[in-house]
Structure 1
Amino acid sequence: MPARCCAATATSRRRDRSHAPRHDGIARAPAGFPHRSSAWLCSGFVATDTAHAPSKTTSPVWRNEAMTTLRLRSPHRCRPPALAAAATLAALSGPAHAQSTLTLYGVADAGVQYLSRADGRHAAWRLQNYGILPSQLGIKGEEDLGGGWRARFQLEQGINLNDGTATVPGYAFFRGAYVGMGGPAGTVTLGRQFSTLFDKTLFYDPLWYASYSGQGVLVPLSANFVDHSIKFQSATFAGFDVEALAAMAGIAGNTRAGRVLELGGQFTSRGLSASAVLHRSHGTAQGGADRSAQRRDIGTFAARYAFASLPLTVHAGVQRLTGELDPARTIVWGGARYQASGRFGFAGGIYHTDSPTPQVGHPTLFIASTTCSLSKRTVAYLNLGYAKNSGRSAQTVYEYDPTPLAGASQFGAMLGMYHVF
């Protein structure tokens, strides 16, 4: 019997509930996927799925970060005969085998939404993409380089379930495209990626990723993702971790244009977590208009506390925005998340903005959300939101909605479901 030259093992990873929503699901590798790795060239491949009844298959089982992840091992005996001698010498120095992971993942989220003053005056019922988790499709991978070092990449695109298009036209991977390397001290990534402001604010908002949340208030749309960026995320030492990001537009003769500089830190001890972020970005120089001298400065401090005796986490924070790119404002928020049982969860938040600029004014956003888990991968939800405006303020319920409310308040309700895979 010929020896099997490739082995696949599946290991279960569990994401920390305090940092991200759970993703549970399974997806098969698409037919015809280019098999570049030497591990794919070996015969006798069998994938093992520990979450379901075991079955043999000729295509691998891929899972996302919170699911079983396929790991490919490439023992030296799979190498061509011409490399056998070199492989033997390497084996004498120790049993080191390269290990790689490749993960295909996604989210499909849509619901029916009622929105008052949907156009500034009239109410509307509509099928709305994205209520709790942004609809998306992505692929990411890692390779063990040895000595505690790993190479990684990620490509992620937002999907509009209403018509199957990209959420933002013109981007092949709007939600991220980067490559990087991680080691014992931390990880460096290069490309288009989430800002430090987003990373260190998201999970201090009690509504997390939801479209009815404070993200549209706390993170300007242009500061959500950063192009041409280099980001460093440190490992955690004694409860502390640090993240820094720098980005340049690469315009000859103008190093300020499009520049972004960020620094964030986080401390966690028992149930308490606290985060602080400093963000500075400059305007662009495009189409003959040079706004590179204009700035956006944001400072954010937030905290959350998870009770040990209750499935309850409380959140609070404050943010100050100044500069020429956006009207100055101060934002304070607070809220809570409560997991009533294994199936039901509740979250609510209040976000108040205070600005001397009439177009921003003093609006308050009230949000409540409940979820019901139908399975490990499918969740139904109900979002409720009310934006209280006055004067000329135009706070909307749905994040980043450009509707010109001009002082009119708005109510929104969305009943939907999402499935992760």
Structure 2
Amino acid sequence: MKKTVMLAALTGAFATAAHAQSSVTLYGLIDAGITYTSNQAGHSNWQETDGAINTSRWGLRGSEDLGGGLNAIFTLENGFNVTNGALRQDSRLFGRQAFVGLSGDQYGAVTLGRQYDSVVDYLGPLALTGTQYGGTFFAHPFDNDNLDNDFRVDNSVKFQSANYNGFKFGALYGFSNEAGAFANNRAYSFGASYNYSGLTVAAGYLQLNSDVTSVAVTNTNGALDGDATFFAGRQRTWGAGVKYVFGPATAGFVFTQTLLNQAFGISASQAGVSGGIALDGGSARFNNYEVNGHYFITPAISLAGAYTYTDASLDGANPKWNQVNLQAAYLLSKRTEVYLQGEYQHVTEDGASIGAMINGLSAASATNSQVAVTAGIRHTF
């Protein structure tokens, strides 16, 4: 009897120790609203929308203490549409993130799986599309710089440094996974940020390579598949930004440029038209300039706004976009907020037959202007 009691006590002690050394967290976000759009395919529209700020998700995040400041870590994150329960990210189970790796207090983390690139990691938080102060609908045209993380990188290994007195850096490489064609559908990226007092500066670079024809990607098992924004042989995106926090106010500026070679098209989901936008296979360019800010009137009430100017070169034409974004939000609790936000986009076609298309909506405008207004609720857990 004494041995049984002692064994039970020891078992409980070991279980407690094991529990203290490892943890798994369930987390998520649900964002839904009612959106009015002035013109979608020639008609005004009232619709229920998912993710005007952040698309809905749930995930599992885990850590195990291996001793000596070293931890095993993992994240599995699912994206879904709360209006109909459907999977996002091309119907992947864990389409937002799926990775495992090691993290050390002194040097940082190395992880493998489906992950965000360094432009998203370091520059994204400085643009309102990368935060809760505007999010999805505030993205730059077609999300051409991926600051709204419309795609992730498969088959990737990523390093993110520890925080060295405000300085952080990282890099990512996404394998093509194709024998004899190491560069066919691969990706690589790097970035850094520095924070001192209220000032944050950041920069990032992303390059995607793929052997393409006018009708197909020749390797669908590489770094990108199914959710790429552009159908191109090479995409190079780089940018830099600055943000300054003073009291309850924050002001920021972000510049990004995306360069395409062998550009054959823009995806249907990003272009908002059936079949997408076909390009002639030449080069293309997007320059994005964003000025943004947000202000807490009280700890529960915030106002945010951004203006983005984009000039581009597509098939010999030079379209230009102007987009104005505004948001007001009220925190009902630490985890629940209601919000009202609006976006106005105007595109000067300049030879390109492109209608206005606010990111995240279901269809482009039949004209060169589009207005969207959303009343929504956002809950985190």
**Correspondence for 1:35:** none
Q: Residues of 1 paired with 2:90 and 2:256: CA distance?
A: 31
**1:268 and 1:222, CA in 2 relative to 1: closer, same or farther beyond 3 A?**
closer
Question: How do residues 194-205 of structure 1 correspond to structure 2 at under 5 angstroms?
Answer: 194-205=116-127
Does the 8 A contact of 2:32 with 2:82 survive in 1? Answer: yes
> Is the counterpart of residue 283 in structure 1 residue 210 in structure 2?
yes
> Is the counterpart of residue 333 in structure 1 residue 260 in structure 2?
no
**1:223 and 1:360, CA in 2 relative to 1: closer, same or farther beyond 3 A?**
farther
Greater Rg over alpha carbons, structure: 1
The one of 296, 311, 331 equivalent to 1:354 is: 311
**Correspondence for 1:48:** none
**1:233 and 1:360, CA in 2 relative to 1: closer, same or farther beyond 3 A?**
farther
Give secondary structure in 2 for the equivalent of 1:73: helix
**Correspondence for 2:193:** 266
Give secondary structure in 2 for the equivalent of 1:252: coil
**Correspondence for 1:214:** 139
**Correspondence for 1:180:** 101
Give 1:285 shift: 5.7
Q: Residues of 2 paired with 1:272 and 1:351: CA distance?
A: 21
**1:167 and 1:111, CA in 2 relative to 1: closer, same or farther beyond 3 A?**
same
**Correspondence for 1:94:** none
Higher relative contact order (CA 8 A, sep 6+): 2
**Correspondence for 2:236:** 297
Q: Residues of 2 paired with 1:112 and 1:289: CA distance?
A: 37
More strand by share: 2
Give secondary structure in 2 for the equivalent of 1:74: helix
Does the 8 A contact of 2:120 with 2:148 survive in 1? Answer: no
Uncovered stretches (5+) of structure 2, i.e. residues with no partner: 223-231, 264-283
The RMSD of aligned alpha carbons is 2.6
Give 1:220 shift: 7.2
More helix by share: 2
**Correspondence for 1:23:** none
Q: Residues of 1 paired with 2:119 and 2:187: CA distance?
A: 11
Structure 2-normalised TM-score?
Answer: 0.80
**Correspondence for 2:81:** 160
**Correspondence for 2:18:** 74
> Is the counterpart of residue 379 in structure 1 residue 304 in structure 2?
no
The one of 360, 363, 378 equivalent to 1:403 is: 363
**1:245 and 1:325, CA in 2 relative to 1: closer, same or farther beyond 3 A?**
farther
**Correspondence for 2:268:** none
Q: Residues of 1 paired with 2:78 and 2:208: CA distance?
A: 24
Does the 8 A contact of 1:304 with 1:315 survive in 2? Answer: yes
Q: Residues of 1 paired with 2:153 and 2:364: CA distance?
A: 27
How many residues are matched? 333
- Of residues 141-150 and 220-229 in structure 1, the stretch that sits farther from structure 2 once superposed is 220-229
- Of residues 311-320 and 325-334 in structure 1, the stretch that sits farther from structure 2 once superposed is 325-334
Q: Residues of 2 paired with 1:359 and 1:418: CA distance?
A: 40
**1:224 and 1:255, CA in 2 relative to 1: closer, same or farther beyond 3 A?**
same
Opposite residue 318 of structure 1, the aligned amino acid is F
Q: Residues of 1 paired with 2:312 and 2:166: CA distance?
A: 35
**1:294 and 1:409, CA in 2 relative to 1: closer, same or farther beyond 3 A?**
same
String of CA shifts for 1:388-416, please: whole Å, max 9, x gaps.
122244442233x4734365200000001
Opposite residue 133 of structure 1, the aligned amino acid is N
**1:418 and 1:174, CA in 2 relative to 1: closer, same or farther beyond 3 A?**
same
Structure 1-normalised TM-score?
Answer: 0.73
Identity across aligned pairs (percent)?
A: 28
Q: Residues of 2 paired with 1:389 and 1:174: CA distance?
A: 32
**1:312 and 1:220, CA in 2 relative to 1: closer, same or farther beyond 3 A?**
closer
**1:196 and 1:395, CA in 2 relative to 1: closer, same or farther beyond 3 A?**
farther
Opposite residue 204 of structure 2, the aligned amino acid is V
**Correspondence for 1:323:** 260
**1:350 and 1:393, CA in 2 relative to 1: closer, same or farther beyond 3 A?**
farther
